[in-house]
């Protein structure tokens, strides 16, 4: 699986285009539809995945959905998805927002986490729909997954569960026990 990223909008949100062969999924089309369309190129877009519905993650959603005539996968979708050559699990990761989910591509040891986890920290819980108790539950859940999984956040650099367990105060030790 090939993973490409383009930063879009004022908040520099990470929009991802993931590809297998000539098929693509778009994750969080936050803004600047032309940048996203250019990144996709001539690949066939099968679906758009939304990690949560904050403006910086969905600003270009309607335009991209219309342009590619594509379906949207989000928190309301069934837990396991098979779309073309893509197979992934949808994991509810509430805390930053009640509709927040993580997309787990087990065969590739990759998770797209939106604003749930960032390198060295977690997403804010003080915005509308945020809940710190729910965030703690989600953090506890994520600790049960393979430590070698790479995490692709909605902003900033990628990281891994292993690194976050070592360096992220919110995941280290007994913080969320």
pLDDT digits (tens, 9 = 90+) for 127-161: 889 999 999 999 999 999 999 999 999 999 999 99
Please state the φ and ψ torsions of residue 122, each to the nearest 5 degrees: -130, 170
Instruction: Classify strands 23-27 and 44-49 as parallel, antiparallel or unpaired.
Output: parallel
Q: Is residue 95 part of a domain?
A: yes
Q: Is residue 86 part of a domain?
A: yes
pLDDT the model gives residue 131: 95
What predicted TM-score, i.e. pTM, was given to this entire model?
0.96
pLDDT the model gives residue 172: 78
Q: Is residue 177 part of a domain?
A: no
Q: Give residue 25's domain range.
A: 2-167
CATH of the domain at 110: 3.60.15.10
Q: What is the pLDDT of residues 31-85, one digit of tens each?
A: 999 999 999 999 999 999 999 999 999 999 999 999 999 999 999 999 999 999 9
Q: Is residue 30 part of a domain?
A: yes
**Domain total of the chain:** 1
H-only helix segments in the chain = 33-40, 55-58, 61-68, 132-142, 161-167
Q: Is residue 172 part of a domain?
A: no
- pLDDT of 11 higher than 90: yes
Q: What is the pLDDT of residues 14-32, one digit of tens each?
A: 999 999 999 999 999 999 9
Q: Is residue 118 part of a domain?
A: yes
Q: Is residue 15 part of a domain?
A: yes
Q: Is 128 left (phi over 0), alpha (psi -120 to 50) or beta?
A: beta
pLDDT the model gives residue 174: 55
- Displacement of CA 163 from its chain's centroid (Å): 18
First-to-last C-alpha distance (Å) of the chain: 34
- pLDDT of 173 higher than 90: no
């Amino acid at each position: 699986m090939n993973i490409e990223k383009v930063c879009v909008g004022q908040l520099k949100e990470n929009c991802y285009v993931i590809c297998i062969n000539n098929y693509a999924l778009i994750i969080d089309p936050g803004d600047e539809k032309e940048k996203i369309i250019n990144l996709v190129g001539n690949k066939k877009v099968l679906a758009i995945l939304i990690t949560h519905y904050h403006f910086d993650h969905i600003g270009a959603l309607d335009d991209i959905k219309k342009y590619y005539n594509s379906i949207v996968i989000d928190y309301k979708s069934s837990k396991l998805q098979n779309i073309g050559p893509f197979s992934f699990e949808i994991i509810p990761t509430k805390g930053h927002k009640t509709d927040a989910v993580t997309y787990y591509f087990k065969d590739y040891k990759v998770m797209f986490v939106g604003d749930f986890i960032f390198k060295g920290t977690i997403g804010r819980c003080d915005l509308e729909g945020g809940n710190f108790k729910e965030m703690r539950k989600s953090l506890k859940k994520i600790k049960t997954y393979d430590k070698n999984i790479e995490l692709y956040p909605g902003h900033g650099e990628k990281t891994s569960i292993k690194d976050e367990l070592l360096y992220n105060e919110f995941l280290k030790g007994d913080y969320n026990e």
